[in-house]
A and B are shown apart, each in its own frame.
Chain A
Amino acid sequence: MRSKFYKYCSVIHASMKVEAQYRVNIFFNIFAGIIRIIFAYSLWSTIYSTRSVVNGYTFKMMISYYLIVLAIGMIDKTEFMANSISNEGQQGGFSKYLLMPVNVKNYFFATSIGKSIISGFIIVLGVVVLKILYPIEILSCGYRTRVKALVLITFGILVMRELHYVIGILTLKYFNSSVFMMIKENILLLLVGGLVPLNVFPDGVQAIMKIFPFYYMVYYPSHILITDQVESWIFAVVTLAIWYVIFHLLSGIITKKVIGMGYGGIGL
């Protein structure tokens, strides 16, 4: 058990080193994040110029929402799993992971954790800078709510891990992967609340969204952090847990079918 732990720690360490190697890219990625905040600020400052509250959110809450969404997006690097598996599969390099004395899913997840840790440092740095420049309270909720949000974010990342692994494995066999990745990226961004808080959608649409895990991955934790309303937290945890189990079982079956039986290992 301990040796396994150390094994994945080495993978995380190596991934962090690789991520930190291209510092200019980190710098540009920070700017890309800032642009998303500029977008939110410009759009919502125009909307809030004629009203003080939109869907229960004040302007400050709305900007806080986008900042939290950005931070969660930076922490969750599981998308790397799907992209890497897909790229390696296309180039015929995926076979080497099957020969390694590691679990393929855990290996890619450990790599994504390495990337998340570097992003975590950037977020901490960003929060410190923001506190110095604009001493505003981004989170006005209590510590209990923060812990509850953290639990949801962690669960969300675990569900995403399973989902991205399933997608990655499927691209080895069935899809024109780059195209499929782009479609997935576009749709997921909307579904998790990355573009706009999900409470702007009609109640009927929200009711459908609440059945799926995406609602609770980014939007819901951000929402409870800025409103301190945690009424349906247990329901959120249970929904995420159920979807985690579903995706976990699915990933096992698909891995067996794709890698165990039909994977040629020579790329596309």
Chain B
Amino acid sequence: MTKEEFNKKVQEEIKNYLPEEYASARVLIREIVNCNEQKRTALQIVKEGDNMAPNVYIDEFFDNYKKAEDFDRILKEIADVATNAERPDIDINRLTNYDLMKDRLTIELVDKNMNSERLKELAHTKHGDFAATYRIIISETAEGRSTALVNNSVVKQWGVTVEQIHQDALKADLLREPELYKMQDIIADIMGSEFAGFGFPEEREGNLLKKDPEDIEIDSKDMLVLTNKNRTNGAGLLLQEEILKKVSDIIGGDYYVLPSSIHETIILPAEGDIELDMLEEMVKEVNREEVAPQEILSNEVQYYDRDNAMLVNARIHENPVKNFDRGNDHLFATGKRLKNKGLEL
């Protein structure tokens, strides 16, 4: 059985495995497009009169089927997952009220070229190599969060501009405790005792954004990680101009930004003999080999220019005139200009 045949057969037969209350439910197969255009197949079972239905991703079930599992058993398992799913505790009607939702907005920064199809459906603004998309945080605990992406139909329902959403999301994200750590601190924090004995200092410096830059010692070889308290969608902080400036104050100059994932970015002082070719190659390699496809931020290294107070593609910063023709009217993340490089848009 091919994947398409499997999907069709699941759609046709799943009702035989569902309780009586699902007799008049609609069963749909839908393609769900996640970040970086990662596509998955969802089975949707919509009970009559219900306004919420689970998306049960059946690609994994197909993988199990290929491993010679019994189709009957797989259908039982899908029915079990669909009917026992923990329903989000939310009043759907509240989602239509922008005033109630604006403080719950957060930015999910993505690579605009890696999401060109998906962005057609989503509220977004463009910033250099990136696009800001927006999520509503419905609930949040230490274990995780429930969120909803803001699509075009929601924006229409709200009756606000995308620029308004962007400004409100920027304000809301600033209240979610932006964090800047030295690399060794954040790895030790995640790994805990597993990292003991790896030569990292026992005393951690903590969140550098909360300290006076005068009290922070930064070596040219230091690596910093910019994220937020929940370590989720922290790359959106690249759009916070005050934070970028504070990072520059801490470092004492310009810096490179490696787009390590949608959840955090790596900051390197632009001192010494850093080769951009090497940085670009490193980002591509780690993205290709280690980062989950839907969490890749970009392959494009960025550069913070302190004099112009802006973030720009590092390749364009290195030679703006030579690289001018590779971009478009969204070349620069902050919309400002490289005046001291002789380039005016």
Co-complex (A, B): no
Interface residues of A (CB under 8 A from B): none
